Structure 1
Amino acid sequence: MGVLAAAFVGFNIGGSSTGVAWGPSIGANLIKKGIATVFMVIFVLIGGWTIGRNVTNTLGKNIVPQSAFSIEASIVVLSFIGLGMLIANLYGVPVSTSMTAVGAIAGLGIATDSLNWSIMGEILMWWILAPIIGFWSGGVVGRYLYPHLNRYFEVSQSDGPLLELDTDGYVPTPTLGPGTSLREVMSTGIAFIIACYMSFSAGASNVANAVAPLVGDTKHAYESTRACYTIHRKMFVQSRS
């Protein structure tokens, strides 16, 4: 049940984060939806496997202690995370996965009187600062820099394929498509790299939201089992002696 709840959360994370990472590239007809999904999966996996471990530790044991994550509590927390995101996805509204997960875990901490308020204060501080910084950065660039950047980097998108495969030689080599300019290829490559980086960042941040409660419960269960094993082993040794 816990694994199914985590998979349900991960399914809704994919529905929300894929549009954010690849929406601009798909909207500009730079890549097809199916291909974008494949690259999304690859880079989310890389981000979750590498940097995502740090976020998992924060959600799995820093906001509330590991002892609060029983398997029942983990299933409830993951269910509410998944339901909140599912409702937002059905309405087509981008939703913050991290805010949903932290909110559900914080609710568990308040209910069990085990919430780490100092960690929550740090998280809330960045929740306030990050949108403000992003808003004003986008406003300044859009108001004062975008017209100049648009004139300098303006690209005319060709109607045909971006690249073609030349099979006249012994080794097939990619060549520019009809009407394709080198600037168009470079702009497309930059947009693709940015989308891959956003997918990586989504994995680094959002994979933890799906598995952190289970990780916290698993670590607590492992430590409890090991402690019980140590106690029983000592009792067995004493009884033998």
Structure 2
Amino acid sequence: MQAPQAPAIPQHIVVVDDDAGVRTLLSRILRECGYDVTGAADGGELETALAERQVDLVLLDIMLPGASGLDLCRMIRARSGVPIIMISARGQESDRVTGLDLGADDYIAKPFGRPEVLARVRAVLRRAADTHVPLDIPAPERFDFAGWSYHGRRRELIAPSGAEVDLTAAEHELLLALLRYPQRMIGRERLLELARSRIATPTDRSIDVLISRLRRKLGDGRKTRPLIRTIRGVGYMFAADVSVA
């Protein structure tokens, strides 16, 4: 007789809003759909929730007492890639834009409806799950993209002109990771884990610098349809079509 499977651990969401009514409403909507929810009225309670256990998503109101939601978004992004959905009044468009620029993944405008809240929460959690791609399986021998070729075993990057482009060891590792999973987001933390042994002082900023260098060597300065796309607040995606051999 097959043993019963252990129940899935519900995803943990922190709802940060100083309005107890809004906090209770959002918490009830999320709990009714199977999420584990912690409510927080301000930055201090958010800090406690983040320190006590793993958090899969933060719903963060912009207007808070003390540190604002924008301040807290900046604080979270400085040390974590946890997804963030900002909550704002409809008239606060500039604040919503600022929140996205600071690394928030989406926003919900007040007043909100249950279907919109759940749709945005599911979409952000789904995108976050897609960043955890496995990178320890064998890679194809050769990748072709946009006229370029990359030979994994020989560690050679060949330009459309036929010239070989020199890459550092860390640049090789990052390019290989991106090429293996085109059109999929890979988080900064996962890329950092991959290249850690190749970087003297590994930080999230190290990955950003390496990506910038890769773009330059690939001639990828285009503003529309870049080869390597930045997924704000999450990581990067190799956006070009890739064929393998």
Same fold per superposition (TM over 0.5):
no
Higher helix share: 1
Length-normalised TM-score, structure 1: 0.23
Q: Which has the larger radius of gyration?
A: 1
- Greater share of residues in strand: 2
TM-score, normalised via structure 2 length = 0.23
